[in-house]
Amino acid sequence: MTRRHIQRQDGQAFVEFVVILPVLLLVLVAIYQFGQVFVNYMDVTSAAREGARKAAVSRTAGTCSVVDGLAVTSAKAAASDLNQSNLTVTVNRTCTNNAYAQSSDVKVTATYPYSVNVMGVVISSGTLSSSTTMRVE
């Protein structure tokens, strides 16, 4: 007499799916979080570029502090998606007689904090920073 073994595999695919699901969800959440950091970095870069451009073309708008204020305002307006209270914009320039020196360089640096959270656990954190240097017209 021969014995036949009948093996049922009805739930095998479901069990494998349940085992892999947490890993898949973790990868998807991580991709989303790193995507958010990348979008924030693009906003910081855009803010630095717009601030430098405003400072470079606004030499005749007034004193150095007025032009600096215009550059900071322009930079923050370019990064409207970011939390404005966390965005820091600094302007480095050469002032002569309380005015921007023509053909000198103006450098605008924008910084913004970031943190990558996966299921409430901070994986990475730091500061995004971008600088743009332009010649004053």
Residue 53 has pLDDT above 70, yes or no: yes
Q: Report DSSP state, residue 101.
A: P
- Scanning 58-99, the segments in alpha helix (DSSP H) are 64-78
pLDDT value of residue 11:
82
Give the helix/strand (H/E) hosting 9. Answer: none
Q: What does the pLDDT look like over 55-102, one tens digit per residue?
A: 999 988 989 999 999 999 999 999 999 999 999 999 999 888 888 888
Is the model's pLDDT at 118 over the cut of 80? Answer: no
Q: Can you give the residue ranges of every domain in the chain?
A: 16-135
Question: Which of 2-6, 61-65, 131-135 is most confident?
Answer: 131-135
Query: In Å, how far are 31, 114, 130 from 123, measured between CA atoms?
Result: 13, 11, 22
Amino acid residing at 55: A
Cross-strand pairs, 88: 111
Burial of 96 (0-12, 13-18, 19+ CB in 10 A): exposed
Give percent above pLDDT 70 in the chain. Answer: 93
Is the Cβ–Cβ distance between 115 and 40 less than 8 Å? no
Task: Report the DSSP beta bridge partners of residue 92.
Answer: 107
